[in-house]
Amino acid sequence: MQYQYRPGTISGWLANALAKHSKSRRKKRPVRVYLDGCFDMMHYGHANALRQAKAVGDELVVGLINDAEILRCKGPPVMNEEERYTLVEAVKWVDEILRGVPYDLNPEFIHELFTKHRIDYIIHGDDPCLLPDGSDAYAHAKKLGRFKMVKRTEGVSTTDIVGRMLTCSRVNHFISHDEPHPLAKSFSLGSPREESGKEASSSDANTRTTLSKFLPTSRRLVQFSNGRVAPEGAHIVYIDGAFDCFHPGHVKILKAAKAEGDFLLVGLHTDEEVQARRGPHLPIMNLHERSLSVLACKYVDEVIIGSPCVMTDDLIKTFNISLVVRGSVSETSMLGPVKQERYSVPRAAGIFRELRSPSEVTARNIIHRIVDKRAAFEERNARKVKGEEAYYAEAKSYVQEL
């Protein structure tokens, strides 16, 4: 808290004294805040919640709900616990992770948070979080006066991303050469009947996911940016790609790339270039969404938004790039080697290296997981969509973002 009073007055002197005392106290006893979640199909909305939670205190402790609890309360997760841990651990605002926490914040666990883990406040977004019995998951923390609310990031959700993936799987042969999966039709921009010119039924409306729209702002990019500048003489490593649906494979190759130098620069290709390579409805996330996901990763120092697909000598000189790397596994690996022209300039300069990818996970793999579990995700998303629609129609109110 900042105390601001007119200089040269008793109140001004007192304000300075209190500010120094507050700073000293927080060094000795940092304010610890706790935010839990499933963090399944982690996206920039999750990252923004973590960023805001960190702004409430000094140290951010994240509770990662295990697979069994998610299955009990919400339905099957798309990613397993290890994959979700990899994603959360890589977010630059996270200081500590508690694994295997319960979905419902019962009084016993809340007491453990306040005593064993020295948590000062429990944080959650302004969207409702209900237990299977319909009660508020954070009711006890609110009653104790130890609950703080942050603003939900609108324009994205795990439900929404699942919908985009299934829409893509219906029409994109890069994802599947089989007949479009029936579930995909219920996640298109319009219901199956609307697209065929027939009257939509109530069941169509209940299973349809409306794809939300992300509204990018300059403030959001500044919030996620590190503001870092490569120091003189730094060994700058460059890696480029789509980085669509940011997943554990991305985290691990970025970590490996950062280990090759002092400063990691990531080039993100435009939506048009990605679509030209991969086909309709790809990328799943647009350029600004992908930028935020990559910027939230602690291994990344800077991002070029809309980097050219084919590397040039001018790009290398402009950013003083020392080494260009690429992972051995990518979304297009099954189509054969990458086109030679993309990296011909750094190859000729002797500054190109292919890194062995630490993970086989791709966005294509994840889409297949969802399609293979059609019934379970159909039920899960239908429930989630209904709750989100009710929130936006009835319960939504203004919350100041931190």
Q: Which of 26-40, 352-366, 380-394 has the lowest mean pLDDT?
A: 380-394
Q: Tell me the pTM.
A: 0.81
Residue 44 predicted with pLDDT over 60: yes
Helices (H), 197-308: 202-207, 218-224, 248-258, 271-278, 287-295
Residues 294 and 391 occupy one common structural domain: yes
Lowest-confidence pick of 125-134, 177-186, 350-359? 177-186
User: Are residues 105 and 250 both part of a single domain?
Assistant: no
pLDDT value of position 6? 52
Q: How many whole angstroms from its chain centre is CA 209? A: 20
Identify whether residues 281 and 257 lie together within a single domain. Answer: yes
Q: Comparing 134 with 40, which gets the higher pLDDT?
A: 40
Q: Are residues 110 and 162 in the same domain?
A: no
Sequence-ordered list of residues with C-beta below 8 angstroms from that of 167, at least 6 positions apart, any chain: 184, 187, 188, 189, 211, 281
Mean pLDDT of 333-347: 87
176 backbone φψ class: left, alpha, beta (φ>0; ψ -120 to 50): beta
So what's the pLDDT on residue 50? 97
Q: Which of 18-32, 223-237, 361-375 has the highest mean pLDDT?
A: 223-237
Residue 206, pLDDT > 80, answer no
Residue 192 has pLDDT above 50, yes or no: no
pLDDT band at 29 (very low <50, low <70, confident <90, very high): confident
Same domain, 220 and 367: yes
CB of 37 within 8 A of CB of 16?
no
**What is the biggest distance separating any 2 CA atoms in the chain, rounded to whole angstroms?**
77
Cβ burial of 133 (10 Å; 0-12, 13-18, 19+) is exposed
Q: Domains in the chain: how many in total?
A: 2
Is residue 342 a part of any domain in this protein? yes
pLDDT tens digits for range 256-283 = 999 999 999 999 999 999 999 888 878 9
Please state, as a whole number, how many other Cβ atoms lie within 10 Å of the Cβ of residue 189: 13
* Residues 123 and 223 both lie in one domain: no
pLDDT at 242: 96
- pLDDT (tens digit per residue) in 77-134: 999 999 999 999 999 999 999 999 998 899 999 999 999 999 999 999 887 777 767 7
Name the residue range of residue 309's domain.
Answer: 156-174+216-395
Together in a domain, 163 and 131: no
| Per-residue model confidence as pLDDT tens digits over 138-163 | 889 999 999 999 998 877 887 788 77
Question: Residue 397: which pLDDT band, with cuts at 50, 70 and 90?
Answer: low
Q: Check whether residue 127 and residue 264 sit in a common domain.
A: no
Q: Alpha-carbon distance 250 to 27, whole Å?
A: 35
Amino acid symbol at 95: D
For residue 4, what pLDDT band results from cuts at 50, 70 and 90?
Answer: low
User: Is beta strand 323-327 parallel, antiparallel or unpaired with respect to 147-150?
Assistant: unpaired
Question: Does pLDDT of 212 surpass 60?
Answer: no
Q: Average pLDDT of 56-77?
A: 93
pLDDT at 324 over 90: yes
